[in-house]
Amino acid sequence: MNTMRAMILDRPGQLLVMRERPAPRPAAGEILVAVSACGVCRTDLHVVDGELPHPKLPIVPGHEIVGRVAALGRGVEGFTIGQRVGVPWLGATCGVCPYCRAGRENLCDAPLFTGYTRDGGYATHTVADARYCFALPDGFDDAAAAPLLCAGLIGWRSYRMAGEGSALGIYGFGAAAHILAQVAVWQGRRIYAFTRPGDSAAQTFARSLGAAWAGGSDEQPPELLDAAIIFAPAGALVPAALRAVKKGGRVVCGGIHMSDIPSFPYAILWEERQVVSVANLTRADAREFLAIAPRSGLKTEVVRYRLEQANDALADLRDGKLQGAAVLCM
């Protein structure tokens, strides 16, 4: 195997272009992955649309990668040729900064991110640091497993940060929300799903996954919430969520990018309500969630596209046409 195909972003704001290029070879500590599926995440959209600064250019997007190990770099242990693996957003960390030493590698001062600062999975092959790759649970085919690697992992970190309350609101019922709702219902929590106003299809979808209530983001839930997670990149949802949580409640912003948060009265923050953000993930998050996913019985809803349809998948995500998650299948 001397060549590979990849969908490449030359400059933010442009369409991805299919190109054939020499296949990469894994350096020491890396594995070469023959990609079978790669999820299309909203973070990819932020990279392509130029909303995240300083990407490596040209870049192959994609960080929800499922594939098989095709070659091992020098010194790699714990993986075998042909083994199914997942490659997530967190591509590498420095290991020496104060955050890494404190076990907070998601805040590393010198990280690499798959599909942003190192090439990702919109391709037939990619290389990855073996230390940041994971064996995947059985029970999910390749396309179904792909959304677990970001929608699932970042969603899981957001969910844990939301605390132990029983009434949980989720704003933006897309890929992450449809996974986390199933886990939360399995754990006995009441889910309140907030969608774009008037999006009856998304509300029906949320109820089909066990949501106790589903309505527009401009509505109040039938009870005050213990916590809320915002997956939609709309800053105006922060004050809306604050008005929906009870005293001592927490609003978790789960996205890597969000439009500006409008000013809001202190009264809706008072009484020890909190607004917090989630940044990236840790390998511990991945191990924990990938162990829980098959036990919870969750099923990912995926819309499959061919690799060369990556621009179509991104456009459908941008336009809100997807139910569940988009996945490129190689």
For residue 308, the domain's CATH number is 3.90.180.10
Query: Is the domain of 22 the same as that of 106?
Result: yes
- Closest-CA residue to 24 (of 133, 123, 151, 172): 123
φ/ψ of 251, rounded to 5, equals -110, 120
Query: Is the domain of 11 the same as that of 133?
Result: yes
* Residue 302 · residue 146 · CB < 8 Å: yes
Query: Is the domain of 248 the same as that of 105?
Result: no
Query: Is the domain of 188 the same as that of 50?
Result: no
Q: How many Cα atoms within 13 Å fall on the side-chain side of residue 114? A: 31
* Residue 64 · residue 38 · CB < 8 Å: yes
The count of other CB atoms within 10 Å of the CB of residue 323 is 16
Query: Is the domain of 218 the same as that of 296?
Result: no
Q: Which parts of the chain have pLDDT scores under 50?
A: none
Query: Is the domain of 38 the same as that of 101?
Result: yes
Query: Is the domain of 218 the same as that of 251?
Result: yes
Query: Is the domain of 248 the same as that of 162?
Result: yes
Q: What CATH number is given to the structural domain containing 217?
A: 3.40.50.720
Query: Is the domain of 270 the same as that of 293?
Result: no
Query: Is the domain of 172 the same as that of 270?
Result: yes
* Residue 238 · residue 209 · CB < 8 Å: no
Residues with Cβ within 8 Å of 121's Cβ and at least 6 positions away in sequence, in order, are: 33, 35, 38, 60, 62, 63, 64, 65, 67, 87, 114, 115, 328
- Closest-CA residue to 1 (of 28, 36, 42, 33): 33
Per-residue H/E/C for the chain: CCEEEEEEECCCCCCCEEEEEECCCCCCCEEEEEEEEEEECHHHHHHHCCCCCCCCCCECCCCCEEEEEEEECCCCCCCCCCCEEEECCEEECCCCCHHHHCCCHHHCCCCEEECCCECCCCECEEEEEHHHCEECCCCCCHHHHHHHHCHHHHHHHHHHHCCCCCEEEEECCCHHHHHHHHHHHHCCCEEEEEECCCCHHHHHHHHHCCCCEEEECCCCCCCCEEEEEECCCCCCHHHHHHHHEEEEEEEEECCCCCCCCCCCCHHHCCCCCEEEECCCCCHHHHHHHHHHHHHHCCCCCEEEEEHHHHHHHHHHHHCCCCCCEEEEEC
How many domains does the structure of the chain reveal? 2
**Would you state the pLDDT for residue 2?**
86
- Its domain, for residue 292, covers 3-149+280-329
d(CA 325, CA 38): 11
Query: Is the domain of 92 the same as that of 72?
Result: yes
* Residue 153 · residue 88 · CB < 8 Å: yes
**Would you state the pLDDT for residue 1?**
66
d(CA 231, CA 299): 19
Query: Is the domain of 173 the same as that of 236?
Result: yes
* Beta-bridge partner residues of 123: 6
